[in-house]
Amino acid sequence: MPTLTIPNNQASVTEDEIKLSGILDDLIVPASELSQPEFNGIAVVPDPVTPYVQLSTIVEHLFNNNGLFTLTIQVPSVFSATNDGVEITPLTIGNENFYNLNPIKFSDADDIEFKSFENDDGAFNTTVAFTVTQDLGGGVTNPIDFGQINFTTDIESVPDNPVIQKINTPDGIPSTSSQVQYIGEFTIASTDASESLWFDVVGVPEGVDIYTLDENGEPEFKFAPVPTNNSGGIEKGSLTKSINAPAAANSPQTIRLGIVYNEITFPDDLDLAIRGRSLEGEIIDEVGLEAATAYSSVQPLNIKLSPTQVALDIPNDAAINENDSLTNLLTEVSITGDHSDYPDIGTPQNLSDLIDNLNTKNLPFTVEITPSNGAIKDQNGMTLPNTNGVYSIDERSPLNNLTVEIPDNGQVSIKVTVPDLSNTKTGGTNPVVFGEVSGGVDVLPVADKPTLNLTVNDDLTINPDDDNPLVEIGDYTIQPNDDETISLFVDAIPPNSSLIILDDDGETQATFTPTGNGFSTNLNADTFQGTLAVQFNDPPRDLEDFNLNLFATATEPGTNLTAFSDTFNLNIDLPDLIETGDNTETGDSNGTKQLLTYSPGKGAFTFENAKGAILGQELLDDGDGGLTEVGFVITDGNPQDIITNSKAVFSVLPDSTIIGNQERLTELTQDTGNIHFFKVNGGSIDDLIDGRISSDTVDFNLEVTATDSAYILKWADGLEIGIGLNDKGQSPLALFQGQHEGEILTNQSNEAINVGFSIKSWADYENTVGLFAVNDETGAVTDPLTGETILPGENGYTQIVLSHNLLFEGEAGESGTVALAPSTIYMPFIVADGSVSDGLEGEAQVYFSAIAANSDNFDHVRLLGDNIFAFEDLHGGGDMDFNDIIIEFV
């Protein structure tokens, strides 16, 4: 008969799992005894390498193949048994419990578990009897008794699961750093003080080190790699560290963790996990891994990488004035470090620039300022709320209305927090520290505010017969303070004039000279009071509603510290200096001043003593309808030799009824000279200057007829224009119009100008036109990311002007109003048969008045009159009718 034995007389189970399967695993039957004939059909095929078969394997085989068996387990009565959690009723005899199991009561040996009601002493006695019933057929069975075996089972202790909890983790850490960065705090505790505790960080990529940190954030111990061929089942990429056992059970320890990484590209998030381990008994290798290991629950640690802090600097010569504005303090803080992790902030040089850029983009920020022994106050002199001397300023704070009070060479600490503009490091616009800095700032004395009084003349009278009229604006007085330098300043003066100071006798005491953005003069004891006057060099034709701002400045000697008086805004309404009818434009003056005459022998018009006069040109007839541009050149020589100095009047389209009356007003800029008019056939003056067409296209041959009010110029093909002096004044928007590639609008004033626009079209294409801002009349723009100047035709030009410099865009049939910013130049563009988005994506051609920016090197924009632009939408010029779309500004 088969016999049950125990290999090496060793049987054991763990204290937390005394299962029937564990008991049966320790009992074996020699494989040779299972090869006897009576076991045919029920025997388990023995492993040829293993000389025995576990009883658990035999029982499982019989159960799965409907074999009959009886299994009797005898254990001390302090033990009970359950099957899948349901208690099994034993037969109790004395101090022993007997459990008879058969296929009906048996399902899975892993489901039957024994538990003791008393503390075990490390072992318990067990008796196992096993009988197999052989079916001989015809209802005849044959019991096969494997006998029974008595043995002692050792109970191995199992460590308790440690408890690990997260205390804190930061919102983000810098993404590029070789320094130890804090990544979180955890507690770990065990219910058994005798057990050994270990701490694992799981999922660490190569090239990354993990440390424990002391209370000051300094690294203490480095985590070691965990072997992957251990019985603890720890994943590859784990680091581990043993920690001191707690002084008592359930006493938690706090573990502070730090990370170091070098030259590694991380994903947006670094996903790690934290786990504790308890070890019972002897440590068998250098990292303390053995079979008796218990694990805590896993705590995820998602590390968000934040942009690197930017280096800020308060230079040694940093200085502000007494009670200076907060803006000036922030201007003194330089941004010296690399800020490529913040691509949307532009190229700020200091914190004031940074805040301006953030405000422009409507992005939030926080500036924490700690002025040592100082304060930040509002416009009413009230100290702002603060926390222990720390003032928090954000995008809602009116920086220019805030002042800083600190002692001389006072220490200032500043911390700037901005959104994570990269939108990749911390997963959004979470706030991150942009930079921190501390340093000393000199505080300089401030000049006293000067007192300026001005009495303006109510009645301005001018002698219209005076070649150099003098206009007395009003009387002023100023009260100086101490030994400060006192100056008067104005932001503008009338054209072709001087601003002077007169004494009581009408003698000139001082003259304003250009300085910065205006004109100024220094005062002395003789000029602390006087009369302001405008001295015109030539009689202006018309000058109404002239505006200027007047104020005084007081400057501390030897410094650039300046205080400003109140500002007087003066609106000067000057009458006409030359009345209507005083000028005979035909040259038949009848004794009046001769301003414009025609010399048939020279074929030119002559103007004398007429600097600043306005020359009006008006299209009367477009002749035979060919594409033509009319221009003029001022010269005393051969006009053919100086064609490069020509100015365009306007282009003449094949049908003049398209836009109605075409008129241009051009300001003469020389004292004397001969004006030669000409036209260019089949091209533009820009084409002529740039060499795209030859001088053979230039036609100077015209007839001149004088009328009572104008000269009529007529060419052989029937084209007629009328010219004459005009008192309307040049359009302030047309300063550059008529010059080379001069299809430009400009606002030279210090205030925004609202202009109306209307768009017409006679094209099949659905075109888009508009304006964009440029640096100067060449069409150059500034790259907002690099700060570099980009010229028309250079890489990225179209992207910059359409993405960053666009004023407005419109289509045929639209009209409205746009505001031209102060001191700004604008150029027109057309997107042929598409939108601005199509132009940006390269799905439609974009053409500009700056020809170098056009892919076909063709002049696509023509001037039809003051502030009227005509466009050709076909590549290379197409039909060259320039009536595809026309935009007019008023």
- Write the pLDDT tens digit of every residue in 704-739: 888 766 788 898 888 888 887 765 667 889 888 888
E strands within 556-641? 562-564, 568-572, 596-599, 604-607, 614-622, 628-634
- Listing DSSP states for 680-726 in one string gives EESS-HHHHHHTSS-GGGEE--EEEEE-SS-EEEEETTSEEEEEEE-
> By the 8 A CB rule, do 887 and 769 touch?
yes
What pLDDT sits at residue 310? 86
What pLDDT sits at residue 194? 67
pLDDT at 579 over 90: no
| Pick from 862, 460, 413, 492: nearest CA to 682 | 862
pLDDT at 609 over 50: no
pLDDT at 287 over 60: no
517-526 burial by CB neighbour count: b if 16+ within 10 A, else e? ebbbbebeee
pLDDT at 846 over 90: yes
- Of the pLDDT bands very low, low, confident and very high (cuts 50, 70, 90), residue 262 is low
Give the CA-trace dihedral at 616, 622, 627, 629, to 10 degrees.
Answer: -20
The Cα–Cα gap between 515 and 520 comes to 6
Q: How many CB atoms lie within 10 A of CB 662?
A: 24
* Token code pair at residue 255: 């573990």
pLDDT at 41 over 50: no
The Cα–Cα gap between 325 and 334 comes to 17
Which of 32-36, 119-123, 616-620 is predicted least confidently?
119-123
> By the 8 A CB rule, do 853 and 730 touch?
no
pLDDT at 42 over 60: no
| Alpha-carbon distances of 82 from 61, 72, 110, 160, rounded to whole Å | 22, 15, 11, 23
What pLDDT sits at residue 423? 46
> By the 8 A CB rule, do 27 and 147 touch?
no
Which of 298-307, 535-544, 549-558 is predicted least confidently?
535-544
Beta strand 614-622 pairing with 719-725:
antiparallel
- Of the pLDDT bands very low, low, confident and very high (cuts 50, 70, 90), residue 843 is very high
* Token code pair at residue 125: 């006695």
Q: How many CB atoms lie within 10 A of CB 369?
A: 23
pLDDT at 267 over 90: no
The Cα–Cα gap between 384 and 381 comes to 9
| Pick from 165, 159, 166: nearest CA to 193 | 159
Q: How many CB atoms lie within 10 A of CB 486?
A: 21
- Write the pLDDT tens digit of every residue in 211-244: 888 888 888 888 877 654 443 334 444 666 655 5
What pLDDT sits at residue 95? 86
Mean pLDDT calculated for residue range 505-516: 89
Tally of CA atoms within 13 A in the half-sphere of 574 that contains its CB: 28
The Cα–Cα gap between 627 and 683 comes to 7
* Token code pair at residue 63: 């159960």
What pLDDT sits at residue 461? 62
Q: Which residues contact 358 (CB under 8 A, 6 or more apart)?
A: 345, 364, 365, 395, 418
- Write the pLDDT tens digit of every residue in 406-450: 887 788 999 988 876 554 444 445 677 888 999 888 887 766 778
How confident is the prediction for the chain on average, in pLDDT? 78
Per DSSP, helices labelled H in 361-498 are none
- Write the pLDDT tens digit of every residue in 295-321: 778 888 877 777 778 889 999 888 887
What pLDDT sits at residue 481? 72
Predicted TM-score (pTM) of the model is 0.38
